[in-house]
Chain A
Amino acid sequence: MKYTLPALLVFFLAACGSGDPGTASDLLSDSLLNRNEARISDKQVIEIITSIPNPVEMSSLLQKCGVIYSNDLLNPAGNISKYNTNYKKALNLGTYGTDLVHMNIFDRTTSSLEYLNNIKDLAGDLKVGQFFDHETLTRLSENSKNVDSILFITNSGFDRMSNFLQEQNRTSVSVLIGIGTWVESLYLATNIEKATNKDEVFNRIGEQKEVLDMIIIMLSAFADNEEFKDLMEDIRALKIIFDKVKISYTYAEPTMKEIDGVLVIVDNSTSSVAISEEIFNEISTKISAIRTKIIN
């Protein structure tokens, strides 16, 4: 099952995406979709996409925290037949990517080929198949035990794809992939009843408040698009819940430290997230609802 590892990796790349902000506006430039008025610049979109956390990070965290893995949480592979529009395809390229990463991090690779295949199919349909080629997969499999390498490969892969899509005036595709990834990742993180160390997960979820803000800004670029409207509303509803999360930020002087003979600057500031079980459950419910819409 050498493939599975690479496979996983592949996604994250999509998922973790640090995308370049495709030129949202370009996308729209196409008369048919009429999405040309971006409210933010391509550059901003790139930055935003990049800031969406890579699912590799989230899944590693979940594993560390003793979350129990369940296949039931994943988007069933058979659902692919339901994705007939580019909108759906892009979103679910994200969800499947996240799922693949997730199952690989947990070493549950039985069905990873199926997910890998779905990803290839969706990417092919979206005409971004070149980023899921043999070469990338090989590199991923070679680095399967090294989370950092995987992060690097996937992030850079996603970057390249986002750049490409921006060039092709199809930034919306990378935006949707990013959102799909993020939602799925969040969904997985909110189903952790049996975790041994819930606090860390709670914190991480709380931190998504900032990510969410950026996603909203990013989505605003596509406000005119029919398909995006629904999603936008859901995300906004989610934001209302997230607003209840308090993040406090304590500033401290950075210090210099010599590590292995190299001088580095250490950021001593800390932030703390306050998220109650109740809010967490609310988030969980909402994310689950959004995700259900996406995958069906």
Chain B
Amino acid sequence: MSEEILKALMQLFAIIAKQDVGTSMNEREFVHLFLMQQLSESSVKEYLALFDNKAGFDKDKKESIEPAGVQRKPRLTSVKDSVRTLGIAKKINKTLTQKQKAVVLVRLFELVNSDKNFTPQRMAIIDTVAEVFNITKEEYSSIQIFVTKDDPAEFDIPEIMVVAGDETTVSPTCKCIVSRDLDKNVLILRVSSVDLYFIRYTGSDVLYLNGLHLSSGRIYLFASGSVIKMSIGKPVFYTDIAAKFLADSSLLNIDFRVKDVGFTFPNGKIGLQSFSLAEFSGKLVGILGASGSGKTTLLNVLCGLDTPTHGEVTINGINLHKRKDLVKGVIGYIPQDDLLIEELTVFENLYFNAKLIFRNLTDEQIRERVLKVISNLGLIHAKGMKVGNPLDKKISGGQRKRLNIGLELLREPSILFVDEPTSGLSSRDSENVMELLRELTLRGKLIFAVIHQPSSDIFKMFDNVVIIDDGGFQIYYGNPVEAVMYFKDKDNQVNREIGECPTCGNVNPEMIFNIIEARIVDEYGQFTEKRKKTPPEWSEIFNSTGEADIRNGQANEYLPEPQKMPNRLKQFRIYFIRDLLTKLSNRQYLNLNLLISPVIAAVLAFILRYISDPESDTYLYRENDNITPYIFMAVIIALFLGLIVSAEEIYRDRKILKREAFLNLSRTSYLTSKISILFVISAIQALLFVIIGNSILEIRGMYFEYWLVFFSMAALANMLGLNISATFNSAVTIYILIPFLIIPQMVLAGALFSFDKINRFLGGGSENVPIIAEFMPSRWGFEALLVKQFVDNKYEQMPFNEEGITLYDLEKQISINDYKNVYYIPELKGIVEEYRFRKARNPEMKIPDSDLELLKNEFTREMKVTTQFNFGLMDQLYPGKYNTKVGDSVIAYCEALQEHYKAEFNKYYYIRDEMIASRLKDSAPKDEYYNLRDHYYNENLTAFAINKYAFKKLVRINNHFVQKIDPIFLDPQEISFLNYRTHFMAPRKYFLGRYFSTFSVNVFTIWLFTFLLYFTLYFETIKKSLRFLENTKPYIRKPFRFLGNQLSIGILVLFGKQKHRIKSGTDLTAKNGVDDEGSD
């Protein structure tokens, strides 16, 4: 208490005391005692003198110096005094908290009560003070009753409770605890607005408050964690009293029971031995223990994040782990790390959280509620500030912590689990945070808080504490102050019955740990590693005291109804806006993401803008040799950009998700909002890339198609990125995975390596695209653009006639007929000729079965295509049935076909020539022709699309001839209803009974992949399969682990130094990395 306040108080006391009849001895004695409590002997005199002076008290005369004296008629309070009272009260108002003000008010009453001199003037002054202090009429009157009345009948008001020796002395409606053998009642007053309890005892029994003697008639503050002990009879705990007061409040009753709960880690290490406890609404329970003893493990089990190996946790009789759905909304969890969205402001963090939680409230109401919480948190000034991250602090650690709690506060879950709320905070901040929690319990919350090294004040705030010893042993459960005595007792220390310091009221929780962990001293006086009592011994002692038996209570079957969540669409909107704001507020992120694609496009296109003629400075699209590589790069860049935007998304949110897991929110909404934002980003990136890249390379008229493919690829990559970010638990792992995902896409896109020349085991060199490449989105994207660019450009689409026959169509016919005529039919014919040649030398020779098979296969195909010719001896193309006649017939059939194809070829060949020649006659069409050719037709792309450098024009695979040239003109050969597979660069694809353009089929396929990935994301398939792998036998797991460790170490070495430099010494990377290895 400051000097100023003390002076102000003295003045107040004096003003009251001197009213009416003047200051009595009793009153002066009261002031003296009061000062004695606050000050040292010498200062007491000083302040007492001040009081005497103001009150006009002459201690020599031991009488009032007021001339009027006792005899004088009571007179009205002087105006001067009134004004002064007001002034003093206002001054106090500015400095004291509401709690302290309540104490002052009680003291004033006590002063008056010391002489029972309740004159109107005195009361008027107290009235004034109470008014200035903003103390409600009801509380004012209850304080008055509490301080001044002695008749038990008068105590029948809700704010007062009685500890009575005989319950018959109090009215039945009055709250009452019976403690036999108590001569007179102990009164307890609750000032509910500030949650303070005062205690007053008027009897003559010897009572102890926290081990200190309770003077009769005096009023004491009954702080949380306190205990009243009587010489005989059961002690009365703070929690008992608080429970009484809260019992009839309208708050929900939670009955939280833990029975023999134990927990074993997946790796076999025991985390928790056996815990039992029972708690009810309105309690603040501390979980204490040395570091590594299992505090957080216990918390995680209690809140349902981890499932206990044995035992059960019930809430109102409902098993928390088995019926998660029923109790989900009841539980709130505040992890140790801040779960704030760093890019958002304090207000926005709360606002979006509130939006997600409350369905029924309007925006206005939500804002109000958030503002209320903010002011409760004392964060009004920080309201508009960005949260920032620990390295780039915007708001203080204490503010972060409070905001964190505030997020849960909004929702008001009935049970709140808080992990280390004070870690890293100053003692002042710690206290503020704990007071916040304390306040919450007043509203009926049950709060469990893990706490490490609490200060005395914080320690005393707990209603109960659970103390855990190394190895997960429960060694204490009960009142905190009692705990000190308990351990002192078990350690046979002196003063064991004194829990708190008699003079300062401090409790030293350190002492508990010193006792628990006390080690044996060896003969040299050195501490040994051995403890006096091991954790199991402590646990045994505790169990034998019977404290572990949880109290029986009526399990309440009724569960508070969780908040009504907004529907999915609304949740989606809220998530979306929240995410969007997060991204928008991160300038660096935004700029980088918007710049990266145009910059890459510009660099890439600029590099690839090649002019083939060294003499010329004019760029010609037609001659640019880099169009195919550009398309390929665009596809890969799309994948890459898509991956890097998304790869960290869910990972970054995982802590927030952990908290929101208790909210029963829709995963669909969360994911779709994420996806939508990413898609928007990707769409913009795609647009910028295509506009810039295609313009520089002068790829005309295909902007939309390029955009669509780029966007589709990026969208797919987004989904892939989300999948990995939901699966892996460190940023390094995620980024190291990106090359793993990209490289196969590069290799198997069909651009860098021909599908004809990859490992046959993977399907290389077959008729169709290798199976493995069917799963490569890059292949679908690349092929889509390639085919689109080749087939649908304005040059190839140059109309030949009114019926829409285009240059491409003609070229396709030319290609088909040329292939048949020049390569295919001669090869077929060659089969028989070859056989005849050999047979001439060796008459025994039989035609190989495979050759017959081939002829049969090819003729079957051929007869479907060219129906006007028929090979009549199909049934003779079997081993044993073949004879010269069949051979002749084969040759004849081939020749007929060849004639046909020759004619067809010539027809289209000349039509095409004619068409072009006619255009070249006049200058206008000629210019147009050259224009189209220069700007829409690309030689490099054509060479690629017709497989110009093919080593073999056709190959024999599985008794089929497979065409290797001109894939771009070749329709799929093996068509059937469900067969979607084709060779690479087929101009169109056949599926479900009709032809679709390759472009649409491929884009559709990419989206199909995207869709599938959404499902794996939704159901966390990858994570689950990995977990499954981890749970397999160790000898399977080990190699993976080993590899994983090696990988992590490598990464650490690689990245460690770099990050070091950036993050100025905070070796976050290394820390994260190590953590990752440890957690499985």
Contacts and interface: CB of A to CB of B under 8 A. Distances in A.
Interface stretch (B13-21, B567-575, B903-911): B903-911
B805 interface: no
Interface stretch (B324-332, B758-766, B863-871, B914-922): B914-922
A32 B906 CA distance: 9
B948 interface: yes
Contacts of A66: none
Contacts of A124: 946, 948
Given A32-B911, A32-B914, A168 B613 contact: no
Interface in B604-648: 612-613, 622-623
Given A85-B917, A124-B948, A32 B822 contact: no
Contacts of B902: 168-169
B814 A127 contact: yes
Contacts of A78: 612-613
B951 interface: yes
B711 to A, nearest CB: 34
Interface string A53-64: 000000000000
A209 interface: no
Interface residues of B, number: 29
Interface string B1022-1039: 000000000000000000
A151 B47 CA distance: 129
Contact of B906 (A84, A120, A168): A168
Given A30-B907, A169-B906, A130 B920 contact: no
Contacts, number: 49
B948 A86 contact: no
B154 interface: no
Contacts of A87: 913, 917
B822 A130 contact: yes
B906 A127 contact: no
Nearest to B811: A125
B893 interface: no
A130 B909 contact: no
Nearest to B623: A81
A233 B352 CA distance: 87
A130 B954 CA distance: 12
A265 interface: no
B7 interface: no
A87 B917 CA distance: 9
B801 to A, nearest CB: 14
A168 B929 CA distance: 29
Contact of B929 (A84, A120, A121, A170): A84
Contacts of B929: 84
A227 B913 CA distance: 12
Interface in A206-254: 227
A45 to B, nearest CB: 18
A33 interface: yes
B818 interface: yes
Contacts of A134: 951
A30 B906 CA distance: 7
A87 B913 CA distance: 9
A233 B887 CA distance: 51
A127 B906 CA distance: 11
A32 B934 CA distance: 28
Given A120-B948, A127-B822, A168-B902, A86 B909 contact: yes
Contact of A30 (B613, B910, B939, B951): B910
Interface of B is mostly: helix
Contacts of B917: 85, 87, 227
A227 B911 CA distance: 15
A134 B951 CA distance: 7
Contacts of B914: 32
Nearest to B939: A121
Nearest to B942: A121
Give the one of B814, B902, B905, B909 with max A CB within 10 A: B909
Interface string B802-821: 00000000000010001001
B953 interface: yes
Contacts of A168: 821, 902, 905-906
B818 A127 contact: yes
A130 B953 CA distance: 9
Contacts of B818: 127
B608 to A, nearest CB: 20
Interface in A12-33: 30, 32-33
Interface string A101-128: 0000000000000000000110010010
Contacts of A170: 906, 909
Interface string A124-152: 10010010001000000000000000000
B920 A84 contact: yes
Nearest to A120: B948
A50 B916 CA distance: 31
B916 A85 contact: yes
B135 to A, nearest CB: 97
Given A85-B916, A127-B905, A168-B902, A33 B953 contact: no
A81 B622 contact: yes
Contacts of B933: 81, 84
B920 A85 contact: yes
Nearest to B953: A130
Given A78-B613, A124-B948, A127-B822, A33 B910 contact: yes
Nearest to B616: A78
Interface string A62-90: 00000000000000001001001111000
Contacts of B823: 130
Contacts of A33: 910
A32 B953 contact: no
A59 B939 CA distance: 31
B910 A32 contact: yes
Nearest to A226: B917
Contacts of A120: 948
Contacts of A81: 622-623, 933-934
Interface string B923-960: 00000010001100001000000101001010000000
A227 B917 CA distance: 10
A170 B929 CA distance: 26
A124 B947 CA distance: 11
A104 B949 CA distance: 23
Interface in B587-613: 612-613
Nearest to B819: A127
Contacts of B946: 124
- Which 5 pairs, one residue from A and one from B, show the smallest C-beta to C-beta distance? A32-B910, A86-B913, A85-B917, A127-B818, A30-B906
Given A32-B914, A85-B920, 14 more contacts: A32-B911, A81-B622, A81-B623, A85-B913, A120-B948, A121-B939, A121-B948, A124-B948, A127-B822, A127-B909, A134-B951, A168-B821, A169-B902, A170-B906
Interface of B: 612-613, 622-623, 814, 818, 821-823, 902, 905-907, 909-911, 913-914, 916-917, 920, 929, 933-934, 939, 946, 948, 951, 953
20 contacts: A30-B907, A30-B910, A32-B907, A32-B911, A78-B613, A81-B622, A84-B920, A84-B929, A85-B916, A85-B920, A86-B909, A87-B913, A124-B948, A127-B814, A127-B905, A130-B953, A168-B821, A168-B905, A169-B902, A170-B906
